[in-house]
Amino acid sequence: PKVEVVSTLECPKCNLKRVRDFKRGDYVFKSDEPCTRCDGMMVINRIHRKKTEKDIAKQKKADEETGDV
């Protein structure tokens, strides 16, 4: 199965967060693109697999079983 990977970007000046599709060449702490809110540069702070409905349901079930609801 194909896995969707996303990059999470954050602006260090105003803390704006944005999630976009992973691009070849992305890496954590890379200064990537200008912030849309201020004049800062967005920095990649996380690269991860996109959560599916199945993942969300599995996490909810696990939380219910452990009482973390």
What is the pTM assigned to this prediction?
A: 0.70
Gap between the Cα atoms of 52 and 10, Å rounded: 22
pLDDT band with cut points at 50, 70 and 90 for residue 10: very high
Report the percentage of the chain scoring pLDDT > 70.
96
The rounded mean pLDDT for the chain is 89
Q: What is residue 1's predicted lDDT score, i.e. its pLDDT?
A: 67
The H-or-E segment that residue 13 falls in is none
